[in-house]
Structure 1
Amino acid sequence: MTTNGPVLVLVGPPGSGKSTIGRMAAERLGVGFRDFDDDMAAEHGKEAGDLVVDLGRERFQQLEHELLIRVLPQHDGVLALGGGTPTAPGVPDLLKPYSVVFLDVDLDHLLKREGLVALHPWLLPNPRAHLKQMLADRRPIYTQVADATVETNGRDPQDILEDVLAAMPVR
């Protein structure tokens, strides 16, 4: 693990709890929190879901990679990546020096998340089919980039936080 950059990077599908758990972890660790989707929106003037629709996945992932190169060395707190960010070409290599935890969630629990489809218009017209395929495609990548996996299905955020913190290597 490196000493420059985030103390913790959270990965997982949209709706897995990265932002919620990330804020809680940052507070507990006494560091800042950063949501990479917010960085993308600030940088490009649109929410990440809209950017994917407007630019296409390939161009969006190029922009994610470019921004992540700048963000990683600047932020020394907790970083919640966008759901698709780890799948962007080159991103797994960028994450290697950092403590990465995969927040895993199953399809049924994702579908219960209010507002998920509104935040991610690319899920339409069939959110269940899109989410099922997305989980199948991304789970191996999340597992590959992560040092640990924490299940979030139906669990209290405080319990998830404890598991995330326990999974972090001692620095």
Structure 2
Amino acid sequence: MGAGKTTVAELLGAAWDLPVRDTDADIVATTGREISDIFVESGEDHFRDLEATAVSAALAEHEGVLALGGGAVLRPETRELLASVPVVFLRVGLSDAVKRVGLGSGRPLLLGNVRARIKALLDERTPVYESVATHVVETDGRTPDEVATEIQGLVR
């Protein structure tokens, strides 16, 4: 959350002349509902089911740059699917994540104390992200262009 996944994916797609796909956008397009509404109305488990389906479909159908939602790798079946493709973990520290996310409007996992929730999510998810990643790229204090340029040197 706040790492710049979608922005960096767009930059990489442009640099490599490849299509870009974002699984969160796929979910919104498929359901006709915003992600925050899905969380509130149907719960996180239902959203994670939709997310796992979206990632599986994208990996099977899409030849290009793929941006995944921050919780996508929480499902073991998704981690297994990602084992066969290059995966870049955009590491963001707590301070930069809080600055980028702001007050968390539209982010259902940030209800309550935003800083504490982001810290808890980073602590919980970072080991999973690292276990899936082919490459880890630091984003703190860097522009999306700088991050994309580093990735171009690592992947492809």
2:30 aligned residue? 43
Once the two structures are superposed, residues 103-158 of structure 1 have per-residue CA deviations (whole angstroms, 9 ceiling, x without a partner) of: 00001101111556013033011111111100001101111111000000011222
- Check 1:96–1:116 CA distance in 2 against 1; reply closer, same or farther (3 A cut): farther
Q: How far apart in 1 are the matches of 2:27 and 2:101? A: 22
* 2:48 equivalent to 1:27: no
Equivalent pair of 1:101/1:146 in contact (CA under 8 Å): yes
**Aligned-pair CA distance for 1:56:** 1.9
Residue 83 of structure 2 aligns to which amino acid in structure 1? Answer: K
Equivalent pair of 2:12/2:152 in contact (CA under 8 Å): yes
Q: How far apart in 2 are the matches of 1:96 and 1:102? A: 13
Residue 109 of structure 1 aligns to which amino acid in structure 2? Answer: D
Q: How far apart in 2 are the matches of 1:57 and 1:71? A: 20
TM-score between the two structures when normalised by the length of structure 1? 0.85
Equivalent pair of 2:103/2:114 in contact (CA under 8 Å): no
1:110 aligned residue? 97
> Alignment length, in residue pairs?
156
- Structure 1 residue ranges without an equivalent (≥5): 1-13
Q: How far apart in 1 are the matches of 2:136 and 2:80? A: 18
After superposition, the CA RMSD in angstroms is 1.4
SS at match of 2:105: helix
1:141 aligned residue? 128
1:8 aligned residue? none
Residue 125 of structure 2 aligns to which amino acid in structure 1? Answer: R
Greater share of residues in helix: 2
Q: 1:93 aligns with which of 80, 87, 90?
A: 80
TM-score between the two structures when normalised by the length of structure 2? 0.93
Q: How far apart in 2 are the matches of 1:117 and 1:129? A: 12
Identity %: 38
- Check 1:116–1:75 CA distance in 2 against 1; reply closer, same or farther (3 A cut): farther
Higher relative contact order (CA closer than 8 Å, sequence separation 6+): 1
Equivalent pair of 1:61/1:89 in contact (CA under 8 Å): no
Q: How far apart in 2 are the matches of 1:126 and 1:116? A: 9
SS at match of 1:112: helix
Q: How far apart in 2 are the matches of 1:54 and 1:137? A: 25
